[in-house]
Amino acid sequence: MSELELFGTDGIRGVANRDPMMVEVAVALGRAVAYMLKERKGGKRPRAVIGKDPRLSGYMLENALVAGLCSMGGDALLVGTLPTPGIAVLTIDQKADAGFVISASHNPYTDNGIKLFSNDGFKLPDVEETKINELMVNGNLTELLPTAGGIGKSFRVEDALERYIAFCVKSFPQDLDLKGMRLVLDCSHGATYRAAPTVFKQLGAHVTTLHDTPNGLNINARCGSQHTEALREQVLAERADVGLAFDGDGDRLIVVDENGVELTGDHVLAICAKDMKSRGELKNNLAVSTVMSNFGLHKTMRELDIDLAVSTVGDRYVLELMKERGGVIGSEPSGHMIFSDIHTTGDGIVSALQLLAVMRRANREISELASVLTLLPQRLVNVDVSRRPPLEELAGVAAAIAAAEAELGGNGRVLVRYSGTQNMCRVMVEGPTEEMTQRLCDAIAAAVKEEIG
């Protein structure tokens, strides 16, 4: 464990079998969590759910987590391959004290990660992650291990998938169904490959599924929420009503309309918030998004007379602001949607069902519903970086940003930040024209690459 701060925006993440995503770290994490939970339970044996996406390294990390938990006197409940939100469901369903997700979300198979849910199905707060981090780095965990009689066990939850599927189906309004609707799903060779087709078929839809044969090496490979080219083609070929793309761990949703046009999380937020307001279900007249949302969303929300609160990047921070302000819907433009009156975390399948329910109620095509939002031209460039110094200390980058903001003159915006999960600097510019937006974004990205690429 070479890094003091192991946790990033969404758990621990990195290249599989390299620090920090190594067996030794997973064992230490299992031990630290089990120890913390035992202390909280007055010495009683804790129970933790462990699930994963299909990437090859998941087996290695799963066994390491089990070893760590059991060695510290905790029990492991294994649910196998299941979407991240499904592990939150099973953590609550099994009355477990915590839930582990082994996944690197939308990253390639070469990466992996581990994130945690509390016993209530919510992602672990930063303060709890800090405690675990301290135990892992400085806690002398091997000196705290119980004797042989205190070692825990592992169990397999045989019907975990069925329990999650039932949860998803139940989230769809009972007075509606999907009969006659043609859907194309892209499961990204990821964790939704069994759950998603089953859910939509049970509700009566005609389903075509793409990228549903994971082999441990093909997760997110030119497919899923990050790459919708094949999905767009299939929607047009089948004259489908809508295409639904999930990421590797199933907590994101990207939608393709009947014309093959990709929609963002901003579109889904605008459509669903408008519908909820019309039905009196938009609590506190509030929707929540992040600083990455398009300026067009702000304009649309003003026109709909809906308050829009803005959080920092990360679905956990969207949810924190929802809790703080009493909201029930939030999103990231990347496709994380949270319907907090239904679920404790982002869920691509559940989000798709809520969107399809709006289509059913309105009896309108998705493109017509999406017309409520007009996006400002946006350009996003991800620059690989070798280090992460404070951006304000980079003179060339600061000058490029200042020049771009001066040219935009209040008719757009610039956002430059480091990724919380990858060694990248994300450069985003929104402006009045495609030409200006691209030119300014590329200039800033070039400055970033020159100084720290």
Both ends of the chain: CA-CA distance in Å?
25
Q: What is the DSSP letter of 36?
A: H
Residue 216 · residue 54 · CB < 8 Å? yes
Known catalytic residues? 105
Residues 6+ apart with CB under 8 A from 58: 52, 81, 102, 103, 112, 216
β 329-331/307-311 pair status: unpaired
Q: Who's near 449: CB < 8 A, 6+ residues apart?
A: 383
| Run of H or E including 418 | strand 413-418
Rg (CA), the chain: 22
Contacts of 214 (CB under 8 A, 6+ apart): 54, 81, 189, 190, 193
Whether the CB-CB separation of 188 and 211 falls below 8 Å is answered with yes
User: Exposed, middle or buried, 447 (CB in 10 Å: 0-12/13-18/19+)?
Assistant: buried
Q: How far is CA 186 from CA 101, 254, 345, in A?
A: 21, 10, 21
Please, are residues 151 and 70 in contact by the beta-carbon 8 Å criterion? Answer: yes
